[in-house]
Structure 1
Amino acid sequence: MTELNRKVAAATRWSLINTIVRRVGTFASGVVLARLFFGPTEWGLYAVGLLVLAMLLSLNEMGVSLALVRWEGDIKRFAPTVLTLSTASSTAFYVLLYVTAPTVARLLGSPDATMMLRLLCLSVIIDGIACVPLAKLNRDFEQFWRTIVDILNFVVNTAVTIVLAAMHVGALAFAWGSLAGNIVALVGFSLAAPGMLKFGWDRQLAGKLYRFGLPLAAASLLTLGIVNLDSVVVGSILGPAALGLYAMAFNMSSWPVRMVSETARRVSFAGFSRLADSPDAFAAGFTRALSLVVAASVPMCVLLGVLAYPVIRFVYGDQWGGAAVALQWLVVLGFVRVTVELAYDGIAARRRETLMLMQGWWLFALIPILIWFAHVWGIDGVAAGQALVAGVLVAPVFLFVLHRMGIRTGGVLRACLMPALGGIAMGLAAWGVHRAIGNGFVGLALAGVAGTVVYLPFVWPLVRSLRTRPQQPTEPAPASDPLILTAAGPEVKVP
């Protein structure tokens, strides 16, 4: 395990650097765009495009690219068949979207988004090609090269978007920026993993790939339905301006998910899969990973929830203040997502078929509640419905399945106990300091510092105990790892 541990540790460090650099850059560019160029309506049109794009990305390569990470043997033997399958299916999905774009945009309450859909979703084909060299980098824990390519993607994406926004292109600036950045990423991934872009066909191997990938693709589609159903409801019932406000709140609430989960999920599938056949090591690794993930996500969730309104006004301006209440509900969802996604990834490594039933239940429970709450309470009701379903109806199901896999509920609760107590103390401290000092940078900064100082004693013993144990490659594994299509704006709503 020593060599594997070394690779996982190095890959995790580069993955963390990648996440921090891109998220900080995305945040900064989003502030510029939201304050100087775009309002809720433009953001809403872009959110419609991202919604459809995310759905297509969940299916475009039918889950077969994960075989490049999971399967043993010579990767170059089956990579050509994977490339042929993923490219063909991605192209077919894009053609279908191109034809139906006017109808899709109208159903989502934004008929003006037709051109946005057709342009932005060209990235589906790019992703279908890039997934092969990208999977090779993930398989070999080559996160250094992925970090370089992702940063180049971000730089080009941001530059093109801001220049076009300044030229008053409107919401299409987002689409052109994403497309330019992902073309650069495709070239970069192909150079970082040479020899992987060769087409070929093996009929028998194709059947095995589909049998492996389709359960994961179906579960991934259900996951996307869960994550994006709220956008469908808001857009179709309340319109693009309300969707822009809701998308801003959702993206801010996803900061913990992006910063914590994304760091692990770039490197975890290859490492986590190696423990799938050892139940005891798998259970120990999951509990340990859960402790770290929860401890890292609680501070962001608490501060965003307690200081939602002043943070939104300070960062993005007064026109976005209507997203504050929705943000407070959605940070609850964000925390549940961090923990449930870890459970999802653990189950994916050993019982892929179970995920479809669990995700289907989540989606089934969401539909009537979100529609009802949207009609009665608007975007705030949709956000509250998301948190309610995730916390009350879904999390207990995941706990039950984990228990059946040998991961005891008591161990899960103990892993969350000290971070939860620390989060309560942190919230009280941050709220008290902010009330005493007031709004503005100084008030927010001191509230954050005070909350962090109060929180650290609760989790520091946990961190020390984990650091003294032998390192195990037990971070969570993603159901899919598509090409990251981050626009030069607030973090986009893709899983």
Structure 2
Amino acid sequence: MQGSEPADQNRLWGRIGQLGTRWRRMSILSSVRWVAVSQAARVLSQLISITVLARILPTHAYGQMAMAMTITNLVFLFRDLGTTTAVIQHRQLTHSLTCTAHWLNVSVSLALALLLGLSAYPLAWAFNEAALCEIILVLSVVFPISGLTLVRQALLERQSEFATLARIEIVSALGGVVGAVSLALAGAGIWSLVGQMLLSTLLTTGQLFRASSWRSSILFSKDDLKILINSGTNLSLFRLIIYLEQNIDSLVIGKFLGSGALGIYAMAYKIMLFPIQNLTAVVSRALLPELSRRQDMNDSVGILYTRSLRIICAIAAPLMGGVFFLRQEFVELVFGPRWTQVSQLLTWLAPVGFIQAITAGTGVVFIAVGRTRLMLRLGMLGGALQISAFLVGVNWGIEGVAACYFVANLINFFPCFIFASIVLNLPIARTFLNLLGPILATSLMLLSLSLIEATITQYLSNQYIAFLAVAAAGASVYFVSLIVLLPQDFARFCIHFRLKIMGTRFQQ
């Protein structure tokens, strides 16, 4: 009997290990689910905002807001100096370090607001847009307000409290949309877009104060400050490069082609960027705390990376493929005839969206395993490619900018993808093959749409119904193709779904 005790204990600990593994999977799935809910609400609110406001506001209002956001987005990069990521990733977090991060964020936010206010008139002169001065002055208020809760939000993310964060972000996003539409209907013009940003920030700040139990103390440690700056410098510089990549096109178009052309380009860019940015944010935001906890287990990080990469590809490929195929019908039905030029730009920007979705996942890997210097170098390469592309493409108008932007992203994809595989000791060829199934399924979807679109539109006279029918047919073909091409992934999804149900019953 005594000889059987070690065997029984081994079985017991093995069972506990299996339950722990299942719990971690369910925890990751729960995080992804809540982040997805939050991002879906953001996308929905943005689509409502764009759809409604585009029919009320003139195109130059979007051009003016794009100019203002180009400046404020740059300032946002230095709002936390990478400290929030350090709070999420740091192995041993202390109250002294969090307080130091908080007071650093508050000080930097106030300084940035003052700097932005002083720069408002020179920036308006540089853009040759007088109304930009007042817009920037009002938007500068956002920084000290949001700086009060950066550490609180980071701590909630570190603890994977994504259900709470989802509620906060949904309320803030929808509240901002209601405020913007109300102001637009009242004739506020460009100020309806400004008011949307201010109201969303106020709602987020108030809710984070209520949701977070953390309270700051008057502590500021020089040693903790060195830790925060050392860990955040590369990340802040990388964010600066990403900003230049994403905003230099607005600077170039606004300067050389005017606010009208910039408004058209900004709308096309939003259509491409909204779903992709929110998709990558779901995976990246949910995985960063988990990958950081496993940063010393390279094999585990590699498995999570490849799975998340395939999920991103499985969603981004049909989404951007559908945008590419139905771009003209979508623009005409949703935005109206004033925006028809947007569909021409989506010819190039839809493939860019897919490439950026795949590339974005590499950044999370570099941060989680502490290779931010490599990430910075790759970012510098990508920044040089894309800035050069914008400066060359502007000679052929906004469509030339979009075409050159696509070429630069295609070239930049390969080094980012290859180095991420090398860092995780993953076979490069196998990692590429990881994307093949969703790409083939998307190709079958586009082929079927080219064959059945004429038939559907012939029997359905209503343009809206015909558009939805074509989209539904494409989605059905893609879903069936994905099951046939990737049966193991479908089986794994069913197992995960079963685990989620079991977890819900267990909690009850």
Given the two structures, how large is their TM-score scaled by the length of structure 1? 0.90
Q: 1:108 to 1:364 in 2, by over 3 A?
A: farther
Of the candidates 124, 148, 151, which is equivalent to residue 129 of structure 1? Answer: 148
Partner secondary structure for residue 214 of structure 2: coil
* Cα distance in 1 for residues equivalent to 2:158 and 2:439: 35
* Aligned residues of 1:64 and 1:210 also touching (Cα < 8 A): yes
* Cα distance in 2 for residues equivalent to 1:69 and 1:348: 11
Identity %: 20
Write the letter of the residue equivalent to 2:220.
W
Match of 2:212 in 1: 193
Q: 1:238 to 1:279 in 2, by over 3 A?
A: same
Equivalent residues in 2 for 1:172-211, closer than 5 Å: 172-211=191-230
1:467 lines up with 2:490 in the alignment: no
1:375 lines up with 2:395 in the alignment: yes
Of the candidates 221, 228, 232, which is equivalent to residue 213 of structure 1? Answer: 232
1:435 lines up with 2:446 in the alignment: no
Of the candidates 35, 51, 71, which is equivalent to residue 31 of structure 1? Answer: 51
How many residue pairs get aligned? The number is 468
* Aligned residues of 1:305 and 1:327 also touching (Cα < 8 A): yes
1:449 lines up with 2:472 in the alignment: yes
Partner secondary structure for residue 57 of structure 2: coil
* Aligned residues of 1:292 and 1:463 also touching (Cα < 8 A): no
Of the candidates 335, 340, 351, which is equivalent to residue 332 of structure 1? Answer: 351
Q: 1:362 to 1:189 in 2, by over 3 A?
A: same
* Cα distance in 1 for residues equivalent to 2:477 and 2:183: 45
Q: 1:323 to 1:470 in 2, by over 3 A?
A: closer
* Aligned residues of 1:48 and 1:110 also touching (Cα < 8 A): no
* Aligned residues of 1:68 and 1:75 also touching (Cα < 8 A): no
* Cα distance in 2 for residues equivalent to 1:209 and 1:397: 29
Deviates most, 256-265 or 298-307: 256-265
Match of 1:49 in 2: 68
1:286 lines up with 2:309 in the alignment: no
Question: What is the CA-CA distance between 1:289 and the residue it aligns to?
Answer: 1.1
Partner secondary structure for residue 368 of structure 2: helix
* Aligned residues of 1:219 and 1:359 also touching (Cα < 8 A): yes
* Cα distance in 1 for residues equivalent to 2:435 and 2:176: 38
Question: What is the CA-CA distance between 1:197 and the residue it aligns to?
Answer: 4.2
Q: Deviations over 1:231-263 (max 9, x none)?
A: 111111111111111111011112331342122
* Aligned residues of 2:421 and 2:431 also touching (Cα < 8 A): no
Deviates most, 241-250 or 163-172: 163-172
Write the letter of the residue equivalent to 2:28.
V
* Cα distance in 1 for residues equivalent to 2:40 and 2:34: 10
Equivalent residues in 2 for 1:142-291, closer than 5 Å: 142-291=161-310
1:399 lines up with 2:399 in the alignment: no
Partner secondary structure for residue 435 of structure 2: helix
* Cα distance in 2 for residues equivalent to 1:160 and 1:338: 31
Match of 1:357 in 2: 377
Question: What is the CA-CA distance between 1:301 and the residue it aligns to?
Answer: 0.3
Question: What is the CA-CA distance between 1:404 and the residue it aligns to?
Answer: 2.4
Partner secondary structure for residue 62 of structure 1: coil
Q: 1:398 to 1:82 in 2, by over 3 A?
A: same
Deviates most, 2-11 or 221-230: 2-11
* Cα distance in 2 for residues equivalent to 1:231 and 1:67: 31
1:388 lines up with 2:407 in the alignment: yes
**CA radius of gyration, larger in:** 2
Of the candidates 19, 22, 25, which is equivalent to residue 5 of structure 1? Answer: 25
* Cα distance in 2 for residues equivalent to 1:432 and 1:122: 53
- Stretches of structure 1 lacking an aligned partner (at least 5 in a row): 472-495
Write the letter of the residue equivalent to 1:382.
V
Deviates most, 69-78 or 343-352: 69-78
Question: What is the CA-CA distance between 1:421 and the residue it aligns to?
Answer: 1.1
Deviates most, 243-252 or 123-132: 123-132
Question: What is the CA-CA distance between 1:465 and the residue it aligns to?
Answer: 4.4
Match of 1:119 in 2: 138
Q: Deviations over 1:352-397 (max 9, x none)?
A: 0111111111111222321221122x11111111111011x20111
Q: Deviations over 1:293-328 (max 9, x none)?
A: 100111110110011111011001111111111112
Partner secondary structure for residue 267 of structure 1: helix
* Cα distance in 2 for residues equivalent to 1:367 and 1:293: 26
* Aligned residues of 1:83 and 1:129 also touching (Cα < 8 A): yes
1:102 lines up with 2:121 in the alignment: yes
* Aligned residues of 2:244 and 2:387 also touching (Cα < 8 A): no
Partner secondary structure for residue 254 of structure 1: helix
Partner secondary structure for residue 266 of structure 1: helix
Partner secondary structure for residue 324 of structure 2: helix
Question: What is the CA-CA distance between 1:156 and the residue it aligns to?
Answer: 2.4
* Aligned residues of 1:433 and 1:443 also touching (Cα < 8 A): no
Question: What is the CA-CA distance between 1:74 and the residue it aligns to?
Answer: 4.3
* Cα distance in 2 for residues equivalent to 1:296 and 1:66: 26
* Aligned residues of 2:31 and 2:160 also touching (Cα < 8 A): yes
Question: What is the CA-CA distance between 1:11 and the residue it aligns to?
Answer: 1.9
Match of 1:478 in 2: none
Partner secondary structure for residue 386 of structure 1: helix
Q: 1:154 to 1:169 in 2, by over 3 A?
A: same
Q: 1:144 to 1:330 in 2, by over 3 A?
A: same
Question: What is the CA-CA distance between 1:462 and the residue it aligns to?
Answer: 4.9
Question: What is the CA-CA distance between 1:198 and the residue it aligns to?
Answer: 4.0
Given the two structures, how large is their TM-score scaled by the length of structure 2? 0.88
Question: What is the CA-CA distance between 1:17 and the residue it aligns to?
Answer: 1.4
* Cα distance in 1 for residues equivalent to 2:392 and 2:131: 26
Deviates most, 175-184 or 460-469: 460-469
* Cα distance in 2 for residues equivalent to 1:265 and 1:115: 35
* Aligned residues of 2:422 and 2:428 also touching (Cα < 8 A): no
Q: 1:276 to 1:214 in 2, by over 3 A?
A: same
* Cα distance in 2 for residues equivalent to 1:435 and 1:262: 36
- Stretches of structure 2 lacking an aligned partner (at least 5 in a row): 1-19, 498-508
Q: Deviations over 1:405-440 (max 9, x none)?
A: 112221221111111111111112223333334482
Write the letter of the residue equivalent to 2:393.
F
